Structure 1
Amino acid sequence: MRRLALFASLLLALTACGGDDDSAPLDASIPEDAFDPHMGLRLPRCEDTDPAPETPLPHVASTLVSTLVPHVDRQARSGPRNPAQEVGETMYRDLDYHLVDVGPGQPHLTRTDLGANTTATTERRSLAWFAHLSDFQLVDDESPTRLARIDNASIPGGLRAQEAYLPRAVSAMSRTLARVEREERPYDFAIVTGDCADSAQQNEIQWVIDLMNGTPGLHTDSGDDDDPVPGEANDPKDPFDPTPFPAPWLFVPGNHDVEVVGVSAPNDRLRETALGVDAPSGTRDYRQWYAPVTSGPIPADPDRAIVDRDDIVEMLRAATSSGPHGPAGHGYPATGEVDTSLGANWTYDAIPGLLRILSIDTSDLTGGSKGMIRRPTVDGWLIPELDRAVADGVLVMLASHHSTTSIDRVVGEVGGDEVEDALTPEEIEALVASRAEVIAWLVGHTHDNRVRAVPGPDAAHPGYWEIMTSAIADYPSQARMIELVDNADGTLSIFATIVDYDTDDCMERRFRALTQMEWVAAWVDDVSRDAEDGNVQLVRAVPASAQAAVTAARATAPSRIESLTTLAE
C-alpha cells in the first residue's frame, strides 16, 4: 500500500507538471526503484541508524575501569511494540532506549561464602588466565524451523532485533580480548559454555567454527544470496573477515546446539522442515524491506540439515589440528573413537599437571530447554573422572551449559513423565560439593551474570563456586576473564572480571543499540546488576589432593596478577 501511495502521488505530481496534457508519458529517465519507498534497500543502512558518535565509547580493559550504562532505565513493563519490527525500533529509538552512557567502574568484591579468607598480596602467583563466554546462539534467521511468529515479551528469543548482526558482535569480542591480551602473558584457553548455535543446524555450527577461527569471507547467509543493502561489506548478510579468537577455545554443548530452536528433540518431521520451503512458525524474509516474518515459500538450503551430538563432535575434530585455532577437537579427543552414549562429555587438561576441565553434556534429548543429568553419566563417567583427578593430584573445574538451577527430571519442557534415572538438582549439588578437588563450575544458559556459592559438608570439603556468564546473543553481551591465583596461605582466589566488547564500526554499534533496546523495553528477561554477581574475587581453600601441584606450579607462575593490573588499566 505504501508503494501504491507513493506511485499515485508521483503520478499526480508529474501530471501537474505536464500542464493539461493528461496523455503525456512518464519520464523514462526516472529509475525503476523510484517507486520503491526504500530506494532498493531491504534493511536500513547502519551508517544512517548508528553513525559514529561525536564522543566514541572508550576502549577500556574491563568493567573495573568503566561500565556501559543505558541512557534510559529498564522499563517496569514491556513496551507495546516488538523491537525486532520497524515500528518497534522506530518507537524505542525516539524514546532514546538505544543510547549508551559511560558509568563508573565496578571493583572486585571479595566473597568468602565457602569459609576461606585471605589477606595475601605480594606472594601471590597467577596459575591460570582464561576467558569464559556463553550463548552466542548464532542463528540462521531464514531457517524454516524458526519460531518468529510466537516471539513476544513473555516468550522472547524467537525473533531478535539484533540477530543478523550477531557474528559481528562475537568478532568484536574476539578483537577486544586480543587488544587486552599482553604479549608476555597470552591466554591459556577460552571456554564457551554452550548454545553456540541456535537451532542444531549444520550451517550454524560451521559458522561458529569459522567465526571463532577467523576464517576469511565468513558468509552467514542461507537460501538465496541476500544483499539487503546493495554493494559489498555494508550489510549483515555480506561476507566479512572476522577477528579470530585470540586463544585456543573449548566447546561445551547446549540445548540449542542439539535441539531445534533449543526446545524440540530432532525427529523426521523437523529434519524435513529444516530442508524445506515452508516456515510454519515464521522466519525472516530478507527479500522484503526490514526482513518481515513470513511462512514461506522461502528458498531451501541443504546446509540447514539438523545435526546430532556425533555430527558436532566430528565437525569440531575436523575443524583444526593444532596451532592458535586449536586445541584439536576443541575439548574432544583429536583422534580415536568418541563415545557419546553417556553424553558428549569431555576431559581436558587445560594446565597440564595442575588444572583439569570436565565438560558435562547437560542437554536433554527428550526435549525441552532445561538440562538433565542421568545416573549412568554420573556413575559411568563423572565419578570415575573425578577419582582420576584426585589420583593425578590436579584441581578440577566443571563446565556445562546448564546450571543445576536449570536442571529437571521430566520428559520435554513441562508436565512430562519423570525420568527415573535422572538426578535432582539437590543430588547433583550434594555430590559435586562433596568433592574437594572441584573448585568451580562454569555455566551459561540463563543469559545472566551470576556467581553462586554451593557449600560442601565440612571444612575439608568446602564446596565450589558456580560462575555464570551472560549471553553474547542478548544484553549485556559480555564475557568474563577468569584468573586462578595461589595466595600462598593455603587458599586460592578465582578472579572473575566482566569485559564489554569494543565497537569499531556501524554494524557492531547497531548490534549494541538493538540489544540494549530490547532489554530497556523489557522484551527480554532482566539481568543481575548486583555487585556479588559482577566483578568478584572468590576465595576457596586449596584441596589437599592438589596442594603439591599448586606448590609446584608456583615455581614458574607469574607474580603479576592480570586481574589487578592489566584489567584495571
Structure 2
Amino acid sequence: MSRMARSRIRSAASAATSTVAAVNRRTLLAAAGGTGAAVGLGLALGPATGSATASPSPPEPVRGAERRVAPAPAAAARPSAAGTTLQSVAAPRGSGAYRRLGDGPGWPRKVRGELAAAKAGRADRRTTLASFVQLTDLHLTDVQHPLRYEFMRSGRVNAWRPHEALSVVGAVSLIERVNALRHGPVTGAPLSFAMTTGDNTDNNAKVELDWYLTAMSGGRISPNTGDRRHYEGVQDSGLREFWHPESALRDADKKLGFPRLDGFLKAAMRDVNSPGLRMPWYSTIGNHDDLSGGAYAFGGSYLADVATGKRKLQIIPAAEAEKMYQAERKGDDPTGKRMKELLRAHSKRMRTVTPDERRAPFTQREYLAAHLAPQHTGPGPIGHGYTRANLDAGTLYYTFRISADVVGISLDSTDPGGHYTGSVGTAQLRWLERTLKAHRDEHIIVFSHHYSRGMKNMNRDPARPKEARHSGAELVALFNRNPSVLAWINGHSHTNEITPRKTFWEITTASHIDFPQLARIVELVDNNDGTLSLFTTLIESAAPHRTDYADLSQTGLAALYRELSFNAPARSTALAGDPHDRNTELLLRKRR
C-alpha cells in the first residue's frame, strides 16, 4: 500500500443560510480511523448576495424542514482504472458510412508540467485533498417539443441529432457509471460529490427540467409529452431529412447506413427508472437552461404560446435554414425577432400536435425553486448549491465547501440578453472578487458552463440594462491575480480541452450528448514536495460498447444512444481532444 494515496480529506458539515432563516444543515459522520471524504454538502461560505453567509456555528434548520444526516463515507479503496477510459474506450468496428462500436484500447494518462515540474517519488507522498465528478452538457431533450430548431436540418445537417430521443436513458446510464465507481481511480478516495456544469436541459422547458432533477435525484421519468399514445416528432413525419427508424422510407440517414429498428420510438418514449446519484450533487446553469434553443431571449408570452401550443414547424427551405444558422452563429438575433418572423411566415407548413403545458419555458426563479423542492433533494444538499438567499436575490452563483482545505465556486456565465456565448455581469464579478479575497488562504476550484474563449457576449441583461458584462479573458486575468484558484472547470464547447493559464488550469470537458459522450473525474492531491497535482480521468456511461438491435431495454437503448451519436452525420471528430486533454496529471506549484 506504499503507493496508495493517503486521504486526509476531513468530513465537512454543510450549512446553507438565507437572509431570513437557515436552510437544512447536514452533517457527515467521521470515517473509521479518522480517514474520511469531503461530503461537499454546501457549507455556507460566501460573503455577499448570491451566496449563503458563513456561520461560525451550526445554524438551526428551517421550521418544518426535515433534518437529514448523510451516511458515513466509505474508506479509501485501492486505486483502480476499472470502469474508466484508462481501461477501455468505445471504438468503431468495420468500415462503411455507418459503423458499429466495440471495446477499444484505453487512453493513457499524460503528465503535464507546464506550470510546475514533476518530482520523483511524489506518488509515495501524496495526500488527497478532493475527489469528485464533473458531468456537463447532458441536454435532456423533449424531442416532440413544438419549438425546436430541428427544422434547420435542411440547410445544416447537424441541426438535429438522430439519437436525441435517447438523451434520458443516456444520462441515467452515466449516473449508473458514477454510482458504480464510487472512488477516484488514482487516490482511491471516495468520490464526494458531482457537479453538473450546465446545459442540463436542451430547450429551457419545464418538463426537461423535471427530467433532469429526477434523473439526478432518483425516480421514474416519462420522456414523452403531448399525446402519450402517439409519437408526434420529426421521426414519423415522412420528411426525408430525418431518420425514420420504423419506416421503409429511404431517408437521408438510412442512405448513410442507419438501421431500421421496429419498435424504436415506442421504446424511446417508455418510462425510464433512474437510481439517482448516490452522492451529493451540485448544479450550474447553462445557456440551454436559460434561453430558447440556447440562443434566444424571447420577450413576452410568445415563446410560451408556441411551446405549449398545437403547431410544430418541422422543415424549412435549405437556403433559409442556412441563413438563419449563420445569423445565430453571429449573434445577430439575440432576442429572437427574426425567429418569430420565420415561425409566423411558415405557420401554414406546421404540423398539428397535442398541446402540453409542461413544455412551457421556465424562468430563472422557477429554475431555482425547482432545485429547492423537497422531491428533488435526493442525497442533498437541499438546493444543490442554490439557497433561499439565491431565490430571494435572483442570483445563480454560490460557494460551497468541497473539503477542509478546498472551496468550490459555481458561476452563472449565461447572458440573459441572448446568444449562446457567455459573460458575467458586474454584480457577479464584484461578488467573485470578494469571494476570492475571503478564501485567499484556501484552495479554490471554480465551475461554470462556458469556457473562457466562449465568454465574449456583451448583450445587456434586460433586467439590468445599465449593468456592464465581462468576458472570459477578464476572468482569466482575475484568477491569475488570485493564485488560490487551482482550476476553472467548465463545458459548453462539447470538446475536451485542458489549457495551462499563468497560475491555474482551465479544464473543459466534452458533452454527454455528442460522441464520445464523456464525464470527468477530478482528484486533487498535495504531493508534499511543494507541488499539487490535479488528476483528470474521463468516464463513459455504464452501457456496453456493443449494441444489440433486438435489445430495446433501458440498457440496450443507452448503448444505442452512444452508437447513433458516433454515426451522427456531420459530427465533429475532434471532440475527444488530444491525448493531453483527456486523462492527465496536471502539476501546480503549491503557493501556501
Q: Specify the SS of the correspondent of 2:373.
A: helix
Report matched runs for 1:293-372 at 5 Å.
Answer: 295-320=350-375, 325-333=379-387, 335-336=388-389, 338-341=391-394, 343-351=395-403, 353-372=404-423
Aligned-pair CA distance for 1:146: 0.4
**Cα pair 1:154 1:523 within 8 Å, conserved:** no
Match of 1:441 among 488, 494, 499: 488
What is the number of residues matched between the two proteins? 433
Contact kept, 8 Å, 1:411 with 1:419, in 2: the verdict is: no
Aligned mates of 1:300, 1:193 — CA distance in 2: 31
Whether 1:241 aligns to 2:288 is no
1:260/1:152 CA distance change after superposition, 3 Å: same
Q: 1:282 to 1:301 in 2, by over 3 A?
A: farther
Superposition deviation, residue 118 in structure 1 = 3.0
Task: Note if 1:523 corresponds to 2:571.
Answer: yes
How far apart, in 2, do the equivalents of 1:316 and 1:329 lie?
A: 5
**For 1:539, what is the secondary structure of its paired residue?**
strand
Q: Please name the residue that 2:337 is paired with.
A: none
Q: Show the counterpart of 1:107.
A: 108
Cα displacement (A) at 1:337 = 5.4
Which deviations, in whole Å up to 9, do the C-alpha atoms of 1:392-436 show, x marking residues without a partner? x32111100001110114339xxxxx9982223322211111111
Q: Name 2:165's counterpart in structure 1.
A: 164
Correspondent of 1:385 among 420, 427, 435: 435
Q: TM-score, normalised by structure 1?
A: 0.71
5+ residue gaps in structure 2?
1-80, 232-245, 247-261, 317-348, 545-554
Q: One-letter code of the match for 2:396?
A: A
Give the corresponding residue for 1:402: 450
Change in Cα spacing, 1:398 to 1:269, as seen in structure 2 (3 Å) is same
Aligned to 2:591: 543
Change (3 A) 1:409 1:337: closer
Tell me the distance in 2 between the aligned counterparts of 1:226 and 1:447.
34
Counterpart-to-counterpart distance in 1, 2:263 and 2:146: 27
Q: Please, what TM-score do these two structures have when normalized by structure 2? A: 0.68
* 1:499 counterpart residue number: 539
* Max Rg structure: 1
Q: CA deviation at 1:205?
A: 0.5
Q: Distance in 2 between matches of 1:445 and 1:367?
A: 15
| Structure 1 gap ranges (5+) | 1-58, 74-94, 284-293, 413-417, 456-462, 545-569
Which residue matches 1:199?
A: 203
Task: Provide the secondary structure at the position in 1 that maps to 2:473.
Answer: helix
- 1:54-203 to structure 2, matched below 5 A, reads 60-71=82-93, 95=96, 97-119=98-120, 120-151=122-153, 154=156, 156=158, 158-182=159-183, 185-203=189-207
Separation in 2 of the partners of 1:511 and 1:278?
28
1:512 alignment partner in structure 2: 562
Q: What CA distance in whole angstroms lies between the structure 1 residues aligned with 2:578 and 2:213?
A: 33
Kindly provide the CA deviation profile for residues 293-314 of structure 1, in whole angstroms up to 9, marking residues without a partner as x: x832111111111111111011
Cα distance change, pair 419–401 in 1 and its aligned pair in 2 (3 A)? farther
Task: Note closer, same or farther for the CA distance 1:419–1:154 as it changes in structure 2 (3 Å cut).
Answer: farther
1:534 and 2:535 matched: no
Question: C-alpha separation between the residues in 2 aligned to 1:265 and 1:240?
Answer: 31
Displacement of 1:355 in angstroms is 1.4
Aligned residue identity for 1:445: H
Percent identity between the aligned chains? Answer: 26
Distance in 2 between the 1:134 and 1:155 partners? 24
Aligned to 1:258: 290
Q: Does residue 333 of structure 2 align to residue 278 of structure 1?
A: no
Shift of the 408–108 alpha-carbon distance from structure 1 to 2, 3 Å rule, reads same
| Distance 1:339-1:444 versus aligned 2 partners, 3 A rule | farther
1:534 Cα offset (Å) = 0.7
SS in 1 for 2:272: coil
Give, in whole Å, the separation in 2 of the partners of 1:495 and 1:180. Answer: 16
Q: In 1, are the aligned partners of 2:288 and 2:294 still within 8 Å (CA)? A: yes
Q: Distance in 1 between matches of 2:191 and 2:473?
A: 34
Rounded to whole Å, the distance in 2 between the matches of 1:429 and 1:145 is 36
Contact 2:369 2:391 in 1 (8 A): no
Distance 1:243 1:227 in 2: 27
Q: In 1, are the aligned partners of 2:538 and 2:583 still within 8 Å (CA)?
A: yes
Cα root mean square deviation, aligned: 2.8
1:122-157 CA-to-partner distances (Å, cap 9, x unmatched) read: 11122211111100110111111101110268573x
Kept in 2, the 8 Å contact 1:320–1:326? The answer is no
Tell me how far 1:326 sits from its aligned partner.
1.2
1:248-285 Cα distance to aligned partner (Å, 9 max, x none): 111100000010110011322112111111124659xx
1:66 touches 1:103 (CA, 8 Å); kept in 2?
A: yes
Decide whether aligned partners of structure 1 residues 72 and 378 sit closer, same or farther in structure 2, where only a CA change above 3 A counts.
farther
Q: Is the Cα–Cα contact under 8 Å of residues 226 and 237 in structure 1 kept in the other structure?
A: no
Aligned pair 1:225/2:228, yes or no? Answer: yes
